[in-house]
């Protein structure tokens, strides 16, 4: 069965024209929702990536510090902090000149500091400070440069 053709032209009746149709708000809201969701996803992904590198830097530097002790198994850490810096230079070293880091396109450094309570050779618990650099090359930790324990 064939549908009859519909004449889409409007007859001039002399009446005022109809109110123009407003664009769909639903489509606009969906578009805004998609943009907001993408922005939030990018923020979460970035924070997860940064938190992962920061946590790994603290773990690896804490392990390196413990390995410098007479009794690593007694080490208890406190006040461990990490911060990222674009500078690869310290007072003693310029890590960008090290051969093992020359092939990376992007280099940065996480500086990790903290306190360690551990037993010394006599069994007494002593507190020491440590400083360590986690070298990040192309988005992953590629080296640990242990600074000092005082």
* Segment 14-47, tens digit of pLDDT: 556 556 555 677 777 676 766 665 655 555 444 4
Question: What distance in Å separates the CA atoms of residue 72 and residue 66, rounded to the nearest whole number?
Answer: 5
* Segment 86-118, tens digit of pLDDT: 788 776 778 778 888 888 898 899 999 999 999
SS3 state at 78: strand
Confidence of residue 148 (pLDDT cuts 50, 70, 90): confident
């Amino acid at each position: 069965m064939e549908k009859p053709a519909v004449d889409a032209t409007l007859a001039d009746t002399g009446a005022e024209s109809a109110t123009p149709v407003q664009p769909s708000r639903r489509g606009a809201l969906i578009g805004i929702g998609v943009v907001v969701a993408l922005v939030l996803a990018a923020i979460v992904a970035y924070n997860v990536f940064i938190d992962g590198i920061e946590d790994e830097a603290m773990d690896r530097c804490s392990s390196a510090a413990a390995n410098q002790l007479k009794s690593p198994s007694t080490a208890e850490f406190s006040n461990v902090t990490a911060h990222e810096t674009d500078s690869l230079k310290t007072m003693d070293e310029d890590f960008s000149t090290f051969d093992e880091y020359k092939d990376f396109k992007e280099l940065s450094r996480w500086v990790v500091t903290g306190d360690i309570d551990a037993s010394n050779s006599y069994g007494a618990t002593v507190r020491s400070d440590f400083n360590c650099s986690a070298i990040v090359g192309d988005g992953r930790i590629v080296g640990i440069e242990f600074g000092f324990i005082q």
